Structure 1
Amino acid sequence: MKNKKGFTLMEFIFVVIIVAVLSTFAVQTYSKVRERAKMSDAANMMAQGVAAQERYFLKRNAYTNKWSYLDIGVENKEGLFKNEDTSEVYYTKGTGPDNTGNGFAVDFEFDYYHHGFAVAQRVGSEKYTYKLVRPFGQGQLYCIPVSENEEDVNFCMDYAGVDVMTDLPTNPMVPIPQKIKLDMK
């Protein structure tokens, strides 16, 4: 009786196929985990901004669209950038006004009824373009697909825990944000 040592070609091909399938799932899962981590950074910054806006409102009876007016100390961080409309945007993860990083642009927006929102727009990524919206005075964070981008829709559906796009929560920023009088001291 002859003792065979080693693999046959069929066994080797079978192992390669299994490894390829498993690595495909691992890469997809890793990509979602990385995106969730970036989202978590933006959500944390938004929560800090909303809490600071509420404290600012208690002192001055008005909201502001400037991060540097708030008591969370972002004015010295690299991520702060002044817009042409005198508001300020905070950029996460090395993202800047040229959108070359891979993070979020976090800004404050207000609607016609003076409701305030912290809005984080995903920038610097070709795969994702969604935005996060957090109304002042609420703890809920909304994931809003910016376009019909399949990656955005799937990511926001996964975040919201829904199975179909029509079950996604609607954007709380309705009507469309407009310029209102803000405290610009």
Structure 2
Amino acid sequence: MAHDLDAVEWGMIHGIMDSDQTVSFPHRESGAALMLTEALRRKHDEGIGLRQVAQQLKYKQAVVLSHMATGRVPIPVDRALCLAEVLGLDPKLFLAAVLKQRFPSIPWKDYGLLESASPSGAEAVSVDQLTEQQKVILREMLRDRDPEERWLTIAEVSAVNMLRALRPHMRSQGLSAADIQAIRDGLEFGPF
């Protein structure tokens, strides 16, 4: 049963739940939430579930981590260093990202504070730490003349995941003209 909860929580972290099942995620695109999501993904890939990580952090419920990673709630400053240690994050970068998330109106750079921390969390992972899949995607992006056209925003992920589930061949063959027309018709003439 714990594995099923982890699968559900992992789905929420990656935005594959229907948008109707979600609420406001004000911290979704903060560097701290992105760093936490990536660290939890790495733990998941190592076979360590969300519940196990929550237990290591002394959280009673795993959903607390899910809420922080999805940006539903901010990451507590007083837990940042413990989170960084358990999840293998650079403590300085993660704490800086958490402070920026919690206090976004403070002009940190104006005072020479937190300058080395990336707002996106990109500095927290070296190229050696990337998975082969991430490296392939980066190589594709670097070769593309218009990479932004191919990039999905977090809001678009659930729609693309639904299409991939309905049409598994889509990733390699694309959608047929009939599928594209059906989507267009459904959106233009649907119940909206």
Common topology (TM > 0.5): no
TM-score range, shorter chain: under 0.3
State the TM-score, normalizing by the size of structure 1: 0.23
The structure with the greater share of residues assigned to strand is 1
State the TM-score, normalizing by the size of structure 2: 0.23
User: Could you say which structure has the larger radius of gyration?
Assistant: 1
Q: Quick one: higher RCO (CA 8 Å, sep 6+), 1 or 2?
A: 2
